[in-house]
Amino acid sequence: MTETSTSGSGVHATLHARHRAVMPDWLAMYYQQPIEITHGEGRHVWDAEGTRYLDFFGGILTTMTAHALPEVTKAVSDQAARILHSSTLYLNRTAVELAERIARLSGIPDARVFFTTSGTEANDTALLLATTYTRSNQVLALRNSYHGRSFSTVGITGNSSWSPTSLSPLQTLYVHGGVRSRGPYAQLTDAQFIAACVSDLEDILGQANGSVAALVAEPIQGVGGFTGPPDGLLAAFREVLAPRGILWITDEVQTGWGRTGEHFWGWQAHGQSGPPDLLTFAKGIGNGLSMGGVVAREDVMNCLTANSISTFGGSPVTTAGALANLTYLLEHDLQGNARRVGGLLTARLTSIAASSPLVREVRGRGLMIGVELVEPDTDEPSPQAAAAVLEAAREGGLLIGKGGREGNVLRIAPPLTLTVAEAEEGAGILEVALRAALEGLQGHSPRPGEGEATP
């Protein structure tokens, strides 16, 4: 149920006007009237006008455990009271302890860990390592992919909606495999799909000009709309790549830390041929703190010969908070909770979708769920429907995300402590939002209260 206050009326509009006067026009924001989030607790947040929301997006999959998790806030507060910053020029005990745990969890033998401040920077670093190690600037990436907003990561992003330039220091070769239910291989069985994608990969490698550095792939494409290949595809790719000395980079910025429920890392659904050579992470590990990093085999990580440091990567505060967050996640088996509650939520959304002409597909794993929307009773992507549902869900007290190349996929990724009752509440709000969006798109105005939902 939403809790509103009229005393703050106009607060968001005033701040939005100030935002538009000083921020870039290309800085994307949600909602026709953007909102300011001021505080949160558990799976809920409040805006500047006093409205309470159930949070099913976690600041783009970043609030992984819970808002204002006491263990994390205490670790951050205690560290901040001692020292905020020192840089990588000095030893950092919590950074070493966190790196030790991540190295063990990664599954990569002889692993070394380098901390960054974001997923973009993590992927940028992985590209630097891979191209230096192999002495090649050719990179394989999946179509519909997203790997960041820096100059190098935009150059390997296959989702045209998030790629503002064709200029790049890299030569990128795009292969099939990221989208299972659309495209030329959609009607194939999983085994046939994998075989077709492997043939496509081999064909592209045959056209490459010399050696190729690496394949970079999200096990489940995040910005691409929570779509992914059948289990085993990346393992099949690895069988082709490894003999040629081509590295495998798994982008776990959104799939890591047990969010998919079935596995701790997304690559483990494709682990038949062994672990990846490099793994990138970010978002959830910091639970809102600016934290990312790269895990790589020792020989790959140590291939750089020039001096390098990080001013802010792995700072005392971010590593203290991330270490507390990771400890909480493991001790409370949040991967298991993602599997159980995520399975229930997916089943509930699938049931709702069966009666909605707007929904083409419900997909995903654990608490990483995509709902693809189309024009009613067609196969045509509908970004208008996604925008309408996003608005209606907010009016009902629920925050969700959206993605997909056409912007037509609802992205649902709550904190991993989500309860069964909260999952049911959120599904109920989404059900009402889908009905309201359908009526709006058909030219009918929703009746009073139709955008609201009670637990």
Within 10 A of 322 (CB to CB), how many other CB atoms are there?
28
Which of 133, 141, 196 shows the shortest CA–CA distance to 170? Answer: 141
Write out the DSSP string of 119-163.
Answer: HHHHHHHHHHHHHHHHT--EEEEETT----SSHHHHTT---GGG-
Cα 174 to the center of its chain, rounded Å: 20
Residue 115 has pLDDT above 60, yes or no: yes
Q: Which of 218, 211, 290, 208 is nearest to 250 (CA)?
A: 218
Sheet containing 368-373: give its strands across.
359-365, 368-373, 409-412, 401-403
* Chain segment 209-244, per-residue pLDDT in tens: 889 999 999 999 999 999 999 999 999 999 999 999
| C-beta of residue 400 within 8 angstroms of C-beta of residue 368 | no
Alpha-carbon Rg for the chain, nearest whole angstrom, is 22
Question: CA 119 to CA 133: how far, in whole Å?
Answer: 21
Task: Flag whether pLDDT at 380 surpasses 60.
Answer: yes
Residues 6+ apart with CB under 8 A from 397: 1, 2, 51, 52, 53, 54, 429, 452, 453
pLDDT of amino acid 436: 97
Question: Residue 28 corresponds to which tokens in the numbers above?
Answer: 């994307």
Instruction: Output the pLDDT for position 9.
Output: 57
- CA–CA separation, 253 and 266 (whole Å): 10
CA–CA gap between residue 250 and residue 382 (Å, rounded): 30
Where residue 50 falls (left for φ over 0; alpha for ψ -120 to 50; beta otherwise) is left
pLDDT tens track for 144-177 = 999 999 999 999 999 988 889 888 999 999 999 9
**Residue 272 has what pLDDT?**
87
pLDDT of residue 288: 96
**For range 398-411, the mean pLDDT:** 97
d(CA 95, CA 90) in angstroms, rounded, equals 11
Backbone region of residue 305 per phi and psi (left: phi > 0; alpha: psi in -120 to 50; beta: other values): alpha
pLDDT at 65: 98
Report pLDDT digits (tens) over 3-19: 444 344 599 999 999 99
pLDDT of residue 448: 38
CA 262 to the chain's CA centroid: 16
The pLDDT assigned to 273 comes to 83
Q: What pLDDT, on the 0 to 100 scale, is given for residue 241?
A: 97
- pLDDT value of residue 220: 97
Give the model confidence (pLDDT) of 415-453 as tens digits: 999 999 999 999 999 999 999 999 999 875 444 333 333
**Which residue segments constitute the domains of the chain, with CATH numbers given?**
6-64+333-441 (3.90.1150.10), 70-331 (3.40.640.10)
Q: Give pLDDT, residue 449.
A: 39
The reported pLDDT for the residue numbered 254 is: 97
Tell me the pLDDT of the chain averaged across its residues. 94
Q: What is the pLDDT of residue 85?
A: 96
pLDDT in tens, 82-96: 999 999 999 999 999
Instruction: Please give the Cα distance from 300 to 181 (Å, whole number).
Output: 35
Count other C-beta atoms under 10 Å from residue 428's C-beta. 17
Name which of 35-44, 163-172, 236-245, 254-263 the model is least confident about: 163-172
What pLDDT digit, counting tens, does each position of 194-207 carry? 999 999 999 999 98
- Residue 262 scores a pLDDT above 80: yes
**pTM as predicted:** 0.93
Cβ-proximal residues to 354 (8 Å cutoff; 6+ apart), any chain: none
The whole-number pLDDT of residue 361 equals 97
Q: Give the closest residue to 322 by CA, choosing from 375, 354, 285, 272.
A: 285
- The predicted pLDDT at position 90 comes to 97
Mean pLDDT of 246-273: 96
Percent of the chain with pLDDT over 70: 95
